[in-house]
Amino acid sequence: MQATKTPVLEAVNISKSYGEKQVLADVSFSAGEGEFVCIVGPSGTGKTTLLRTLSALGTANSGEVRVNGMAITRPPAEVSVVFQDYSRSLMPWMRVGKNIELPLRRYKLSPAERTTRVTEALRDVGLEHAKDLYPWEMSGGMQQRVAIARSLAYRPQVLIMDEPFASVDAQTRADLEDLMLDIRARLGVTIVLVTHDIEEAVYLGDKVIVLSGRPASVSATVDVPLGRTRDQISTKSRPDYLELRAKIHAMIMQSPSSVSG
């Protein structure tokens, strides 16, 4: 039965144009339960457009997005988005606790249940003591952790992340990457992460979707058989890791879109 199981998130032949300019052409992929899927492609390939379509923040011209087999038209409760820029996604007038509570307004929860969820979400990202801080009192990495906690408090089946670590330093980035692997392992959530960083995509993903061309389409789906436990140093020095990284790099270099960047 494993093989016929409905994917949690499925993109089916998504095409999208802005006026005359087609951005996405027939993009299809799927993410199974607890799977970590990385979508990689150079800047300007329409990754953000794809992400907006996946989370129903934008609409496609054709094709559909299915969550648990059902086509979606509005942002579904099963999906939560972690945006690229935490400073534009956390509300500066809300303390950390309130920011995390915000999406919970969608549900009729008791105050006690809300508090529990906020506390749990903060614990999941290792920020137990930050509840009463304002976002701007924290470092960038901490703010992105809060944004991740906000998505987790929602208890989504799918976490969609748009270049979530693009604006933090390298060390913080490595910490956050490991945090996401840990969260997937502990909570069993499906993660779809969009990035331009091939190294990050291979390190995190069970599967890497390579997006290329103009308009962008899926040029390859690469399985990453590195196991679920990964380590910044040992995994990244494994020959099969390096080989995969080079292979995907070559695919992206060959695609015509890399010329114009």
Partner 1 sequence: MNRRKLIKVLPWITTPGLLVVLFVVWELSVKALNVSPLVLPPPSKVFENLGDLLGKASTWQNVQVTVIEIAIGFSVGVAAGVVVGVLLGKLPLLEASVRPLIIALEVIPKVALIPLFVIWFGFGMTTKVIIAALLAFFPVMLNVLLGVRSVERGHRDVMQSINASRWQTFTHLEVKSMMPHVFAGMETAIVLAVIGTIVGEYLGGNEGLGYMVVRTLNELNAPALFAVILMLASVGLAMYFIVTSFKRVAIPWHESVYGRKAEG
Q: State which amino acid sits at residue 179.
A: L
Residues 163 and 140 sit within 8 Å (Cβ to Cβ): no
| Choices 35-43, 59-67, 70-78, 199-207; region in contact with partner 1 by CB under 8 A | 70-78
Residue 92 interacting with partner 1 (CB under 8 A): yes
Is the Cβ of residue 29 or residue 83 nearer to partner 1 in the bound state?
Answer: 83
Distance CA 30, CA 163 (A): 19
The correct pick among 70, 75, 123, 139 for binding partner 1 (CB under 8 A) is: 75
Residue 93 interacting with partner 1 (CB under 8 A): yes
Residue 106 interacting with partner 1 (CB under 8 A): yes
Residue 5 interacting with partner 1 (CB under 8 A): no
Q: Is 90 helix (H, G, I), strand (E, B) or coil?
A: coil
The correct pick among 77, 166, 174, 220 for binding partner 1 (CB under 8 A) is: 77
Mask 117-146, x = binds partner 1 (CB under 8 A)?
Answer: -----------------x-x----------
127-135 long-range contacts (CB < 8 A, ≥24 apart) are 127/96, 130/96, 131/95, 131/96, 131/97, 132/95, 132/96, 132/97, 133/95, 133/96, 134/92, 134/94, 134/95, 134/96, 135/86, 135/87, 135/90, 135/91, 135/92, 135/94, 135/96, 135/99
The correct pick among 103, 141, 205, 215 for binding partner 1 (CB under 8 A) is: 103
Binding site for partner 1 (CB under 8 A): 55, 57, 74-75, 77, 80-81, 83, 85, 88-89, 91-94, 102-103, 105-106, 134, 136, 154
